[in-house]
A = this chain, B = another copy of it.
Protein backbone atom coordinates (compact mmCIF):
# COMPACT_ATOMS: atom_id res chain seq x y z
CA UNK A 1 0.00 0.00 0.00
CA UNK A 2 1.26 3.46 -0.82
CA UNK A 3 1.30 5.89 2.07
CA UNK A 4 -2.10 7.54 2.06
CA UNK A 5 -3.94 4.76 3.89
CA UNK A 6 -3.87 3.67 7.52
CA UNK A 7 -5.40 0.72 9.34
CA UNK A 8 -5.66 -3.02 8.92
CA UNK A 9 -9.34 -3.94 8.90
CA UNK A 10 -10.70 -0.43 9.05
CA UNK A 11 -8.74 1.59 6.51
CA UNK A 12 -8.82 5.34 6.07
CA UNK A 13 -7.43 6.66 2.81
CA UNK A 14 -7.21 10.43 2.49
CA UNK A 15 -6.70 12.78 -0.45
CA UNK A 16 -6.49 16.46 -1.14
CA UNK A 17 -4.27 19.49 -1.18
CA UNK A 18 -4.51 22.73 0.73
CA UNK A 19 -5.49 24.73 -2.36
CA UNK A 20 -6.91 22.03 -4.64
CA UNK A 21 -10.64 21.51 -5.20
CA UNK A 22 -11.27 19.46 -2.06
CA UNK A 23 -9.88 17.31 0.72
CA UNK A 24 -11.55 14.09 1.77
CA UNK A 25 -11.22 10.38 2.14
CA UNK A 26 -12.65 6.92 2.04
CA UNK A 27 -13.24 4.87 5.16
CA UNK A 28 -13.37 1.21 4.18
CA UNK A 29 -14.26 -1.67 6.48
CA UNK A 30 -16.69 0.31 8.59
CA UNK A 31 -19.33 -2.07 9.98
CA UNK A 32 -22.90 -1.90 8.72
CA UNK A 33 -25.91 -0.81 10.72
CA UNK A 34 -24.20 1.99 12.68
CA UNK A 35 -26.32 5.15 13.00
CA UNK A 36 -24.54 7.98 11.23
CA UNK A 37 -25.01 11.19 13.19
CA UNK A 38 -24.14 13.94 10.71
CA UNK A 39 -24.40 16.71 13.30
CA UNK A 40 -21.84 15.00 15.46
CA UNK A 41 -19.42 14.74 12.55
CA UNK A 42 -19.85 18.45 11.80
CA UNK A 43 -19.32 19.34 15.45
CA UNK A 44 -16.05 17.43 15.41
CA UNK A 45 -14.95 19.30 12.28
CA UNK A 46 -15.82 22.56 13.99
CA UNK A 47 -13.42 21.71 16.83
CA UNK A 48 -10.47 21.82 14.41
CA UNK A 49 -11.68 24.85 12.44
CA UNK A 50 -9.42 27.87 12.24
CA UNK A 51 -10.42 31.46 12.93
CA UNK A 52 -12.03 30.83 16.29
CA UNK A 53 -9.40 32.26 18.63
CA UNK A 54 -6.81 34.99 18.54
CA UNK A 55 -4.05 32.40 18.27
CA UNK A 56 -5.39 30.40 15.32
CA UNK A 57 -5.11 31.06 11.60
CA UNK A 58 -7.54 33.51 10.09
CA UNK A 59 -8.37 31.15 7.24
CA UNK A 60 -12.15 31.18 7.35
CA UNK A 61 -13.88 28.17 5.95
CA UNK A 62 -17.09 26.56 7.07
CA UNK A 63 -15.57 23.16 6.40
CA UNK A 64 -18.91 21.67 5.48
CA UNK A 65 -18.58 18.02 4.60
CA UNK A 66 -20.53 15.83 2.21
CA UNK A 67 -20.91 12.07 2.45
CA UNK A 68 -20.86 10.47 -1.00
CA UNK A 69 -21.46 6.79 -0.30
CA UNK A 70 -21.84 4.02 2.22
CA UNK A 71 -24.76 5.50 4.16
CA UNK A 72 -28.40 4.61 3.42
CA UNK A 73 -31.45 5.55 5.43
CA UNK A 74 -29.20 7.04 8.12
CA UNK A 75 -27.16 3.90 8.67
CA UNK A 76 -23.82 2.62 7.46
CA UNK A 77 -24.24 -0.12 4.86
CA UNK A 78 -20.85 -1.82 5.11
CA UNK A 79 -19.80 -0.21 1.81
CA UNK A 80 -16.92 2.29 1.84
CA UNK A 81 -17.89 5.71 3.19
CA UNK A 82 -16.47 8.45 0.98
CA UNK A 83 -16.60 12.09 2.03
CA UNK A 84 -15.18 15.44 1.06
CA UNK A 85 -14.84 19.04 2.15
CA UNK A 86 -14.53 21.66 -0.59
CA UNK A 87 -11.76 24.23 -0.28
CA UNK A 88 -13.49 27.60 -0.42
CA UNK A 89 -11.07 30.13 1.04
CA UNK A 90 -8.03 28.99 -0.89
CA UNK A 91 -5.83 31.97 -1.74
CA UNK A 92 -3.02 30.48 -3.79
CA UNK A 93 -1.67 33.90 -4.75
CA UNK A 94 -0.51 34.25 -1.14
CA UNK A 95 1.92 31.48 -1.78
CA UNK A 96 3.59 32.58 -4.97
CA UNK A 97 6.70 33.62 -3.04
CA UNK A 98 7.03 29.97 -2.03
CA UNK A 99 7.17 28.63 -5.55
CA UNK A 100 10.95 28.30 -5.56
CA UNK A 101 11.88 28.93 -1.92
CA UNK A 102 11.99 26.33 0.81
CA UNK A 103 10.25 27.44 4.00
CA UNK A 104 12.31 26.49 7.09
CA UNK A 105 11.15 23.31 8.84
CA UNK A 106 8.38 22.76 6.29
CA UNK A 107 8.11 19.83 3.87
CA UNK A 108 8.74 21.92 0.73
CA UNK A 109 12.30 20.70 0.21
CA UNK A 110 11.75 17.04 1.04
CA UNK A 111 8.55 16.76 -0.99
CA UNK A 112 10.35 18.19 -4.00
CA UNK A 113 13.27 15.80 -3.55
CA UNK A 114 10.87 12.88 -3.36
CA UNK A 115 8.58 13.66 -6.26
CA UNK A 116 10.71 15.97 -8.41
CA UNK A 117 7.84 18.42 -8.26
CA UNK A 118 5.49 19.96 -5.74
CA UNK A 119 2.18 21.73 -5.46
CA UNK A 120 3.61 24.77 -3.71
CA UNK A 121 0.28 26.33 -2.82
CA UNK A 122 0.11 26.40 0.97
CA UNK A 123 2.05 23.20 1.49
CA UNK A 124 -0.06 21.30 -1.02
CA UNK A 125 -0.56 17.76 0.16
CA UNK A 126 1.74 18.32 3.14
CA UNK A 127 -0.64 20.93 4.55
CA UNK A 128 -2.38 20.15 7.81
CA UNK A 129 -5.60 20.78 5.94
CA UNK A 130 -5.38 17.07 5.04
CA UNK A 131 -6.28 16.30 8.66
CA UNK A 132 -9.87 17.36 7.96
CA UNK A 133 -10.33 13.91 6.46
CA UNK A 134 -8.87 12.31 9.56
CA UNK A 135 -11.34 14.17 11.74
CA UNK A 136 -14.28 12.90 9.67
CA UNK A 137 -12.92 9.35 9.69
CA UNK A 138 -12.32 9.64 13.42
CA UNK A 139 -15.83 10.94 14.03
CA UNK A 140 -17.22 7.89 12.26
CA UNK A 141 -15.01 5.68 14.39
CA UNK A 142 -16.28 7.41 17.52
CA UNK A 143 -19.85 6.57 16.48
CA UNK A 144 -18.83 2.93 16.41
CA UNK A 145 -16.95 3.15 19.71
CA UNK A 146 -19.82 4.93 21.45
CA UNK A 147 -21.95 1.85 20.76
CA UNK A 148 -19.27 -0.24 22.47
CA UNK A 149 -19.10 2.09 25.47
CA UNK A 150 -15.65 3.38 24.58
CA UNK A 151 -14.72 7.07 24.88
CA UNK A 152 -11.64 8.97 23.68
CA UNK A 153 -10.70 12.22 25.41
CA UNK A 154 -7.79 14.45 24.51
CA UNK A 155 -6.66 17.68 26.16
CA UNK A 156 -3.77 20.10 26.03
CA UNK A 157 -1.26 19.31 28.77
CA UNK A 158 1.49 21.67 27.65
CA UNK A 159 1.94 24.85 25.62
CA UNK A 160 5.51 26.07 25.46
CA UNK A 161 6.80 26.48 28.99
CA UNK A 162 3.35 26.00 30.62
CA UNK A 163 2.45 22.44 31.64
CA UNK A 164 -0.25 20.76 33.64
CA UNK A 165 1.00 19.46 36.94
CA UNK A 166 2.38 15.93 36.59
CA UNK A 167 -0.16 14.66 39.09
CA UNK A 168 -3.11 16.39 37.45
CA UNK A 169 -6.14 14.14 37.41
CA UNK A 170 -8.75 14.68 34.70
CA UNK A 171 -12.20 14.93 36.20
CA UNK A 172 -14.08 17.52 34.19
CA UNK A 173 -14.09 16.68 30.49
CA UNK A 174 -16.58 19.49 29.77
CA UNK A 175 -13.89 21.96 30.77
CA UNK A 176 -11.78 20.82 27.83
CA UNK A 177 -14.42 21.76 25.26
CA UNK A 178 -15.14 25.11 26.85
CA UNK A 179 -11.49 26.10 27.15
CA UNK A 180 -10.14 28.06 24.18
CA UNK A 181 -6.82 26.26 24.63
CA UNK A 182 -8.38 22.87 25.40
CA UNK A 183 -6.86 22.73 28.86
CA UNK A 184 -9.10 21.43 31.65
CA UNK A 185 -7.25 23.19 34.51
CA UNK A 186 -8.33 26.87 34.77
CA UNK A 187 -5.10 28.03 36.37
CA UNK A 188 -2.85 26.47 33.75
CA UNK A 189 -5.24 27.59 31.04
CA UNK A 190 -4.87 31.20 32.12
CA UNK A 191 -1.09 30.96 32.00
CA UNK A 192 -1.19 29.41 28.58
CA UNK A 193 -3.37 32.20 27.22
CA UNK A 194 -1.01 34.79 28.65
CA UNK A 195 1.94 33.07 27.08
CA UNK A 196 0.19 32.85 23.70
CA UNK A 197 -0.58 36.56 23.75
CA UNK A 198 3.02 37.45 24.45
CA UNK A 199 4.38 35.16 21.80
CA UNK A 200 1.86 36.36 19.23
CA UNK A 201 2.86 39.94 19.86
CA UNK A 202 6.37 38.87 19.02
CA UNK A 203 5.36 37.23 15.72
CA UNK A 204 6.52 33.91 17.08
CA UNK A 205 4.87 30.50 17.64
CA UNK A 206 4.80 27.77 20.29
CA UNK A 207 4.91 23.99 20.56
CA UNK A 208 2.98 21.90 23.05
CA UNK A 209 1.70 18.51 24.07
CA UNK A 210 -1.61 16.68 24.07
CA UNK A 211 -2.61 13.96 26.51
CA UNK A 212 -5.23 11.41 25.55
CA UNK A 213 -7.26 8.99 27.67
CA UNK A 214 -9.35 6.13 26.32
CA UNK A 215 -11.88 4.47 28.57
CA UNK A 216 -13.98 1.37 28.18
CA UNK A 217 -11.56 -0.61 26.01
CA UNK A 218 -11.95 -4.33 26.73
CA UNK A 219 -8.91 -6.50 27.39
CA UNK A 220 -7.53 -8.28 24.33
CA UNK A 221 -7.10 -5.55 21.68
CA UNK A 222 -3.73 -5.41 19.90
CA UNK A 223 -1.99 -7.88 17.61
CA UNK A 224 1.35 -9.28 18.63
CA UNK A 225 4.15 -8.88 17.83
CA UNK A 226 4.37 -5.94 15.45
CA UNK A 227 0.84 -4.57 15.37
CA UNK A 228 0.81 -3.94 19.09
CA UNK A 229 -1.88 -1.51 20.13
CA UNK A 230 0.86 0.79 21.44
CA UNK A 231 2.84 0.52 18.18
CA UNK A 232 -0.20 1.34 16.06
CA UNK A 233 -1.05 4.30 18.30
CA UNK A 234 2.55 5.53 18.00
CA UNK A 235 2.44 5.33 14.22
CA UNK A 236 -0.94 7.04 14.04
CA UNK A 237 0.28 9.90 16.24
CA UNK A 238 3.61 10.35 14.45
CA UNK A 239 1.69 10.53 11.17
CA UNK A 240 0.06 13.79 12.36
CA UNK A 241 1.88 16.85 11.02
CA UNK A 242 4.28 18.47 13.55
CA UNK A 243 4.32 15.55 15.99
CA UNK A 244 7.81 14.81 17.36
CA UNK A 245 7.23 12.25 20.09
CA UNK A 246 4.88 9.69 21.61
CA UNK A 247 4.86 8.00 25.01
CA UNK A 248 2.24 5.87 26.77
CA UNK A 249 1.72 5.03 30.41
CA UNK A 250 4.87 5.88 32.33
CA UNK A 251 6.55 6.80 29.03
CA UNK A 252 10.00 8.34 29.10
CA UNK A 253 9.90 8.54 32.89
CA UNK A 254 10.05 4.70 32.93
CA UNK A 255 13.63 4.93 31.73
CA UNK A 256 14.55 6.37 35.13
CA UNK A 257 12.68 3.87 37.25
CA UNK A 258 13.34 0.57 39.02
CA UNK A 259 11.21 -2.51 38.34
CA UNK A 260 9.91 -2.56 41.88
CA UNK A 261 8.70 1.04 41.45
CA UNK A 262 7.26 0.50 38.01
CA UNK A 263 5.45 -2.85 38.11
CA UNK A 264 1.65 -2.81 38.21
CA UNK A 265 0.58 -5.51 40.65
CA UNK A 266 -2.48 -7.58 39.82
CA UNK A 267 -5.34 -7.47 42.28
CA UNK A 268 -8.97 -8.46 42.40
CA UNK A 269 -11.43 -5.58 42.52
CA UNK A 270 -15.19 -6.09 42.32
CA UNK A 271 -14.50 -9.74 41.46
CA UNK A 272 -12.56 -8.71 38.36
CA UNK A 273 -8.83 -8.99 37.88
CA UNK A 274 -7.17 -5.61 37.43
CA UNK A 275 -3.99 -3.82 38.52
CA UNK A 276 -3.35 -1.62 41.53
CA UNK A 277 -1.55 1.06 39.53
CA UNK A 278 -1.55 1.81 35.80
CA UNK A 279 1.99 2.66 34.76
CA UNK A 280 1.37 0.30 31.84
CA UNK A 281 -1.08 2.84 30.43
CA UNK A 282 -3.65 0.11 29.84
CA UNK A 283 -1.45 -1.90 27.50
CA UNK A 284 0.79 -4.86 28.38
CA UNK A 285 2.77 -6.73 25.76
CA UNK A 286 1.02 -4.60 23.16
CA UNK A 287 -2.46 -5.81 24.18
CA UNK A 288 -5.06 -3.83 26.11
CA UNK A 289 -5.64 -5.04 29.67
CA UNK A 290 -8.98 -3.38 30.34
CA UNK A 291 -7.60 -0.35 32.18
CA UNK A 292 -7.64 3.24 30.96
CA UNK A 293 -5.31 3.71 28.00
CA UNK A 294 -3.38 6.94 28.13
CA UNK A 295 -0.62 8.48 26.10
CA UNK A 296 1.02 11.82 25.41
CA UNK A 297 2.04 13.42 22.11
CA UNK A 298 4.58 16.24 21.57
CA UNK A 299 4.10 18.90 18.88
CA UNK A 300 6.82 21.16 17.58
CA UNK A 301 6.10 24.91 17.29
CA UNK A 302 4.44 26.11 14.07
CA UNK A 303 7.18 26.64 11.49
CA UNK A 304 5.50 29.58 9.71
CA UNK A 305 6.27 32.77 11.58
CA UNK A 306 5.01 36.32 11.30
CA UNK A 307 8.67 37.26 11.16
CA UNK A 308 10.84 37.23 8.09
CA UNK A 309 13.06 34.16 7.82
CA UNK A 310 16.16 33.51 5.77
CA UNK A 311 16.23 30.48 3.53
CA UNK A 312 17.40 29.40 0.07
CA UNK A 313 15.64 28.78 -3.22
CA UNK A 314 15.90 25.84 -5.61
CA UNK A 315 19.19 27.21 -6.97
CA UNK A 316 20.62 27.44 -3.46
CA UNK A 317 20.52 31.25 -3.45
CA UNK A 318 19.68 33.10 -0.26
CA UNK A 319 16.14 34.49 -0.16
CA UNK A 320 13.91 35.87 2.57
CA UNK A 321 10.46 34.47 3.30
CA UNK A 322 8.19 37.29 4.34
CA UNK A 323 6.18 36.72 7.49
CA UNK A 324 2.59 36.95 6.27
CA UNK A 325 -0.33 34.73 5.38
CA UNK A 326 -2.76 33.14 7.78
CA UNK A 327 -0.85 31.23 10.39
CA UNK A 328 -1.48 29.79 13.82
CA UNK A 329 0.48 30.88 16.89
CA UNK A 330 -0.05 27.41 18.28
CA UNK A 331 -1.94 24.52 16.66
CA UNK A 332 -2.07 22.28 19.67
CA UNK A 333 -5.60 23.26 20.79
CA UNK A 334 -6.94 22.63 17.27
CA UNK A 335 -5.03 19.33 17.16
CA UNK A 336 -6.87 17.73 20.09
CA UNK A 337 -9.63 16.49 17.85
CA UNK A 338 -7.05 15.14 15.39
CA UNK A 339 -5.26 13.18 18.11
CA UNK A 340 -8.63 11.83 19.26
CA UNK A 341 -9.60 10.95 15.68
CA UNK A 342 -6.43 8.96 15.05
CA UNK A 343 -6.79 7.21 18.41
CA UNK A 344 -10.44 6.38 17.68
CA UNK A 345 -9.49 4.93 14.29
CA UNK A 346 -6.79 2.73 15.83
CA UNK A 347 -9.04 1.45 18.62
CA UNK A 348 -11.90 0.77 16.22
CA UNK A 349 -9.59 -1.04 13.82
CA UNK A 350 -8.35 -3.30 16.61
CA UNK A 351 -11.83 -3.73 18.05
CA UNK A 352 -13.12 -5.01 14.72
CA UNK A 353 -10.09 -7.28 14.29
CA UNK A 354 -10.37 -8.90 17.69
CA UNK A 355 -12.28 -12.15 17.63
CA UNK A 356 -13.59 -13.92 20.66
CA UNK A 357 -11.41 -16.99 21.22
CA UNK A 358 -13.12 -20.24 20.16
CA UNK A 359 -13.91 -23.18 22.37
Contacts and interface: CB of A to CB of B under 8 A. Distances in A.
A253 to B, nearest CB: 8
Interface string A92-114: 00000000001011110111011
Contacts of A13: 5, 13, 26, 28, 80
Q: Which of A1, A250, A272 lies at the interface centre, i.e. has the most chain B CB atoms within 10 A of its CB?
A: A1
A241 interface: yes
A232 B191 CA distance: 35
Nearest to A228: B239
A355 B114 CA distance: 8
Contact of A125 (B225, B239, B264, B307): B225
A260 interface: yes
Given A66-B21, A69-B21, A234-B238, A32 B115 contact: yes
Interface string A102-135: 1011110111011111110000111000100000
Interface residues of A, number: 157
A14 interface: yes
A75 interface: yes
Interface stretch (A39-47, A48-56, A298-306): A298-306
A77 B124 contact: yes
B111 A285 contact: yes
A161 B258 CA distance: 9
Contact of A254 (B10, B207, B264, B304): B207
Given A298-B254, A301-B262, A358 B34 contact: yes
A284 interface: yes
